[in-house]
Amino acid sequence: MTYSIANAEHEIQAKCNTLNLRWYPRYHLAARAGWMNDPNGLVWFDGWYHAFYQHHPYSNQWGPMHWGHARSKDLVHWEHLPVAIAPEGPEDRDGCFSGSAVVNGDILALIYTGHKYHGETANEDELFQVQCLATSRDGIHFERQGIIVDTPPGVHHFRDPKVWREGDYWYLVVGARMGDTGEVRLYCSEDLHQWHEEGVLDKAESGMGFMWECPDLFTLNDKRVLMFSPQGLAAAGFRNRNLFQSGYIIGDWQPGLPFIRTSEFAEMDYGHDFYAPQSFLTPDGRRIVIGWLDMWESPLPEQQDGWAGMLSLPRELSLSDDNRLQMCPVKEMESLRQNWFSWPARALKNEQISVLDEAESVEVILNWKGALSTAEQYGISLGKGLRVYMDIQMQRLVLERYYPQYALCGVRSVTINPDNDLSLRLYIDRSSVEVFINNGEACLSSRIYPDAGDRELRLFAWNGSALLSESGAWQLE
């Protein structure tokens, strides 16, 4: 097949009006049709927020990657734009893989991985990944500039460049695999075209993964945050339960000096579905992150509906006093709020009560009085398939999904002190839930697949009582 932007657009237009929308998101960004995975090129340019993403417009399966494109004035309402890049050159003929975007004067520059095989596609010895550049003056139409960083000797997996400006230089971090060891390599440039290798910024010790995808290095509270998605971490107790993880290491780094870790690796999101996050700065200086709200090798029931994958809500990052990364929905999400429904529930004891018949596009607010709650489990459920609850015996907040008809069952959880008050903010969309705990202390994000008529919200408390100081929901636009 010959790939081009024109062919991709023709394919999308033919498919987008045939989708089954039962699970298509109301307020999350998803592709018009076809497949979506990693967010790419998140940037503010010429009065717009731009979000690019890994996209296969020809089917609902992963395939030769294109860059889908949307823009927004407010991070909430997105306008779809034409596909930005297609795999149509010798440097990226097998896919335009993940990357980032920067503003260089009046030019928007995309830096991405060109994916190509020099022989059989089943032979990794024939795989070469190179970093490429494409530029635009209008933010919509891009001119390909070719390879800017070639594949290092002895390396085959070498992808996902993240570029930023610091002082007089541009810097680039990129994920790599050396044998069975994941690492992040660093490059430096004066002009985005000619790059000088600065060596390995950081690499995995034993058990820390065979490949570090989607690296990102940024500053919060004068600390450096190295964010990445390691492949190959073994599950240990409640940790690393997904096939692949996304997380961060806190450290110190200055140009020309080594990166010095000051923390262990920590997961960013404790739900089933959050991967390949990328950060960017808003014009008012906030550090925002968006991730892929899905997980590799997990069932994707929406594929039968003509599409697959979506992005998480934009989240503002902060660093706690003990150097833990915290995430909250961006303040712009409040612009979606319409009617507020206050629930009269204040005390529950060995019971469940219905609070909303149909929850398809809502923001739920729950403030539990932990020290005054004795129930072994208390929380909220959506139909028969989702429960989010405090488990006193485990001292954990649990997200449990149960969709056996789609082979999606299981729990994810995070440690919570049951003696403290518990503040929950849940964003429920047609096929997702994002749970923000105690103003960003932790979050759990998971895909959900309620059948028709199975979206009733209920509060419950079992084997004891639970007290609420506030409960209700905002209907979202």
At 26-72, the pLDDT tens digits run 999 999 999 999 999 999 999 999 999 999 999 999 999 999 999 99
Which of 329, 364, 382 is the C-terminal boundary of a domain? 329
DSSP notation for 102-133: EEETTEEEEEEEEEEESS-TT-GGGEEEEEEE
Q: Report the pLDDT averaged over residues 445-462.
A: 97
Question: Which residues have a Cβ under 8 Å from the Cβ of 241 and sit 6 or more positions away?
Answer: 235, 412
273 with 356, same domain: the answer is no
Domain span at 442: 335-476
Q: Give the residue among 387, 339, 383 at the shortest CA–CA distance from 358.
A: 383
Q: What is the pLDDT of residue 123?
A: 83
Q: What is the pLDDT of residue 126?
A: 87
268 with 342, same domain: the answer is no
State whether the Cα torsion 175-176-182-185 is positive or negative: negative
pLDDT band, very low/low/confident/very high, at 231 (cuts 50, 70, 90): very high
Q: What is the pLDDT of residue 475?
A: 98
400 with 251, same domain: the answer is no
pLDDT band, very low/low/confident/very high, at 2 (cuts 50, 70, 90): confident
Confidence check: pLDDT of 338 > 90: yes
For residue 215, the surrounding DSSP H or E stretch is strand 211-220
Confidence check: pLDDT of 1 > 90: no
Percentage of the chain modeled with pLDDT above 70 = 100
353 with 412, same domain: the answer is yes
pLDDT band, very low/low/confident/very high, at 125 (cuts 50, 70, 90): confident
pLDDT band, very low/low/confident/very high, at 344 (cuts 50, 70, 90): confident
394 with 295, same domain: the answer is no
Region of 160 on the Ramachandran plot (φ > 0 left; ψ -120 to 50 alpha; else beta): left
Q: Report the pLDDT averaged over residues 65-91.
A: 97
Quickly tell me which residue has 């529930």 as its tokens: 345
Which of 308, 329, 350 is the C-terminal boundary of a domain? 329
What is the chain's mean pLDDT, rounded? Answer: 97
Report the domain count for the chain.
2
Q: Report the pLDDT averaged over residues 343-370.
A: 95
Q: What is the pLDDT of residue 63?
A: 96
Q: Report the pLDDT averaged over residues 349-366.
A: 97
How far apart (Å, rounded) are the C-alpha atoms in residues 187 and 169? 10
pLDDT band, very low/low/confident/very high, at 98 (cuts 50, 70, 90): very high
343 with 320, same domain: the answer is no
Q: What is the pLDDT of residue 295?
A: 96
38 with 64, same domain: the answer is yes
CATH code of 42's domain: 2.115.10.20
Cα angle for residues 463, 465, 469 (degrees, 5° grid): 150
321 with 389, same domain: the answer is no
Q: Which of 38, 269, 294, 305 is catalytic?
A: 38
Q: What is the pLDDT of residue 197?
A: 97
How far apart (Å, rounded) are the C-alpha atoms in residues 224 and 301? 38
Yes or no: say if 266 and 240 are a contact pair by the CB < 8 Å rule: no
Higher pLDDT, 58 or 344: 58
319 with 341, same domain: the answer is no
Q: What is the pLDDT of residue 116?
A: 95
Yes or no: say if 240 and 268 are a contact pair by the CB < 8 Å rule: no
DSSP state letter for 152:
P
Q: What is the pLDDT of residue 284?
A: 97
DSSP notation for 324-379: -EEEEE-GGGGGGEEEEEE----EEEEEEEEEES--SSEEEEEEE-GGG---SEEE
Question: Which residues have a Cβ under 8 Å from the Cβ of 165 and sit 6 or more positions away?
Answer: 102, 171
State whether the Cα torsion 272-276-279-280 is positive or negative: negative
34-45 and 307-308 strand pairing: parallel
Confidence check: pLDDT of 347 > 80: yes
321 is catalytic: no
CATH code of 409's domain: 2.60.120.560
171 with 242, same domain: the answer is yes
The three-class DSSP label of residue 125 is: helix
Which of 314, 329, 344 is the C-terminal boundary of a domain? 329
pLDDT band, very low/low/confident/very high, at 252 (cuts 50, 70, 90): very high
Q: What is the pLDDT of residue 194?
A: 98
370 with 316, same domain: the answer is no
**Judging by beta carbons within 10 Å of its beta carbon (0-12, 13-18, 19+), is residue 89 exposed, middle or buried?**
middle
Quickly tell me which residue has 């089954």 as its tokens: 20
358 with 234, same domain: the answer is no
How far apart (Å, rounded) are the C-alpha atoms in residues 175 and 158? 6
